[in-house]
Amino acid sequence: MDFNLSEEHLMIREAARDFANNELLPGVIERDTNQTFPTEQVKKMGELGFLGMMVDPKYGGGGMDTLSYVIAMEELSKIDASASVIVSVNNSLVCWGLETYGSEEQKQKYLTKLATGESIGAFCLSEPEAGSDATSQRTTAVDKGDHYLLNGTKNWITNGGSADYYLVIAQTDRDKGHRGINAFIVEKSWDGFEVGPKEDKLGIRGSDTHTLNFNDVKVPKENRIGEDGFGFKFAMKTLSGGRIGIAAQALGIAAGAYDLAREYSKIRKAFGTEICNHQAIAFKLADMHVNIEAARHLVMKAAWDKDQGANYDMSGAMAKLQASKVAMETTVEAVQIHGGNGYVKEYHVERLMRDAKITQIYEGTSEIQKIVISRGLLRD
């Protein structure tokens, strides 16, 4: 066992930290207020390799391990969780899904652009009536011989307006239940595809979340991912890894809020001394630090499991469940330590508190993570 990070991992952490401080921090409050997608910053992240970190270099990726990815995710999320969810969805839902299950043609055509950030991807599973209950897909893809005809609506889609390519899950044969579900690559420019309204969100307001409508969209047969009927398992397997990315995002939000609270407590004075000298504040910092460190171990263990080729369904769910809880608790306490200043935008912690909430909801709510964990525990 070795708790030390390698030279390479330390360099990735440094690069992500520098990028976050130099490129994401300026304007982060304005982007949050105005719901502005970080277009320039995403372009730069693509150039620096943050959008296809784990993809094989032969498809334009960084060829890095999952540990590198979670380290980068933590650093980016300390500063700007809106930017980091774009990174997470593109890396672990879109690129990973395509690289692992896509055909060579699909990889050449789509993955090469997604891994470099030349194009952005979105993952479209959720529907108005299929959020947690993901097998209840209403979107249909009817087999028409050389193509499928896609109809339906997807909701709460991250990168919904900004993506170029969309991985869309749809029902092709209702009688077969989840075994009649497929996943497709859909291009934004295709007839019948419409980006619907943008959501006005509590947090991660710089990321664009949209409803998407599909009206008789012709999807060529070669754009189905995997064997007929593989779509639900594709979604589940992809989400298992996605949850590690969101766990790292939650960890970063918590760590970012803790850093701010710690610094603030060393300069803010009350009752004749810096507030960190009051046990009421010092104990909060101690709790925050312990919780973050424990969450970090779970996140890194899940990443390590994935890198070892071990099953990571449970460890990813555990990491997400715990890190998102810690993100919520830590950000609330960070606001509390800041007092009145914590409630205003310029101190950043109120934004981190709003951003934290989504980590308990997307890519499977905390309740869904408990389903995954408890089923794993009870399986013989």
Output 147 or 198, the one with its CB closest to ligand CAA: 198
CA distance 90 to 372: 23
- Least separation in angstroms between CB 193 and ligand CAA: 17
By beta-carbon proximity to ligand CAA, the closer residue of 87 and 372 is 372
Active site positions, annotated: 363
Q: Which is nearer to ligand CAA, 134 or 185 (CB)?
A: 134
Question: Is the distance from CB of 345 to CB of 33 less than 8 angstroms?
Answer: yes
Residue whose CB is less far from ligand CAA, 232 or 264: 232
Instruction: Give the residues lining the site for ligand CAA (CB under 6 A).
Output: 89, 123, 125-126, 132, 134-135, 157-158, 178, 232-233, 236-237, 239-240, 313, 362-364, 368, 371-372
To ligand CAA, the closest distance from the beta carbon of 283 in angstroms equals 35
| Residue in the block written with tokens 């300026």 | 26
The token pair at 169 is 């899950």
User: How many beta carbons lie within 10 A of that of residue 213, not counting itself?
Assistant: 16
CB of 361 to ligand CAA, least distance (A): 8
Whole-Å CA distances, 205 to 41, 82, 196, 354: 15, 6, 17, 9
Shortest distance (Å) from residue 232 CB to ligand CAA: 5
Phi, then psi, of 122 in degrees rounded to 5: -135, 155
Amino acid identity for residue 243 in this structure: R
Residue 213, Cα to own-chain centre: how many angstroms? 22
Q: Rounded distance, CA 322 to CA 299, Å?
A: 9
